[in-house]
Amino acid sequence: MSDKRILLIVGGGIAAYKVLELTRLLRKGGFGVRAILTRAGERFVTPMSLTALTGEPVRTDLFDLGAEAEMGHIELSRWADLVVVAPATADLLGKAAGGLADDLASTALLATDKTVLAAPAMNVRMWSHPSVVRNVRQLEADGWRFVGPDEGEMACGEFGAGRLSEPEAIYDAILDALGQGRPAPPPARLSGPGPLKGRHVLVTAGPTFEPIDPVRGLTNRSSGKQGYAIAGALAELGARVTLVSGPTALETPWGVERIDVETALEMEAACRNALPADAAVMVAAVADWRPEIAADLKVKKTGGGATVRLVENPDILAGLSRKGSTRPRLVVGFAAETHDVARYAAEKLMAKGCDWIVANDVGLGGEGGPQVFGAETNHVTLVTRKGAEAWEPGSKRDIARKLAQRIGEALK
């Protein structure tokens, strides 16, 4: 790697301290490294630290008369084989997506003709904000590559996607971007080829809502988080994903086609219309019953009781599992169980006719009860016709990626 050169742009954020270790790894790997430190970045790491580690003067100012006398920002941007932005803050991403150039970092990004690898880091709410999602999509369309962000606890005390990837993961992503060494771990949003390239996967997620009248209805506590995570993980592996979603406030995963529905009947119709598919992953918590008649006007209280007659909803999982020309090659169902998880899941697998059941243990202490449906972690058992396999508890994203990998292996 002695002939490979990295321009490192360091944004402002508490995670900037990790860039010092990344720089050490790069120099140990034989890379030439030059750094641009933003004004905000100087609040967290010093020019002296980066100079000592890179062995090169650190640039901070677009209007440095000595460096800019020879158009230093142009020379910097063209010198590198790869430009790495870490931490890639919401501000840096927004400037780059909008083509703005009001400081040295944004000007160098606009002037470069090399690949840019960004390692985002920000609060989870900022990362999921529509403007940041839009900017990331634009930058990906412009040819940028991304590594991370990771999911976990942040300096602000919140939990979710937004942590800067570890230096080793960013280093692997650099090797991958340069066509060397190990491939990078899957980022939060990834487009391009993968083991599921060319496959179509149908995913359902969230609750359904069965109206009683225009303002009331029957629903459940499903958050949709696990289904959305699975849809995103499948897209990361290159699948064309159709996500049929009940009512949620979740952001559509990058690269996923989303179809919004409300009732079980609408979900069934949307699933049928999405076929053919190579696989179907039925995560949605579909209401078992619906009111036989939904009132056209709000039902008023009369001081007495009320009777709502319920009729059974169609079994979407069983319907998709039936043999026929449109049956997906692999049908995966989900089940929430409080005890004897493997046994009840195996019974459900046989009753529905599907290929796999992912049983979610909602009876665990600390994660049990109603709160499990909004939790960030799950404890699941994968049940197939060959037996049961209990997985280690993990985040919903980790479980989604593991399941997506298994689906990729099954469809080979």
Catalytic residues: 156
- Residue 302 has which token pair? 């009369």
- Interhelix angle 18-28/47-54, rounded to 10 degrees, is 10
> How would you classify the pairing of strands 82-88 and 5-10?
parallel
Q: If we measure between CA atoms, which residue out of 86, 100, 94, 88 comes closest to residue 131?
A: 94
Three-state DSSP class for residue 226: helix
Contact 269, 286 (CB under 8 A): no
Output the six-digit token pair for 380.
Answer: 């699941």
Alpha-helical regions (H) of 197-243: 225-236
DSSP 14-74: GGGGHHHHHHHHHHHTT-EEEEEE-TTGGGTS-HHHHHHHHSSPPB--TT-HHHHTTTHHH
The number of helices, as runs of H, and strands, as runs of E, in the chain is 14, 21
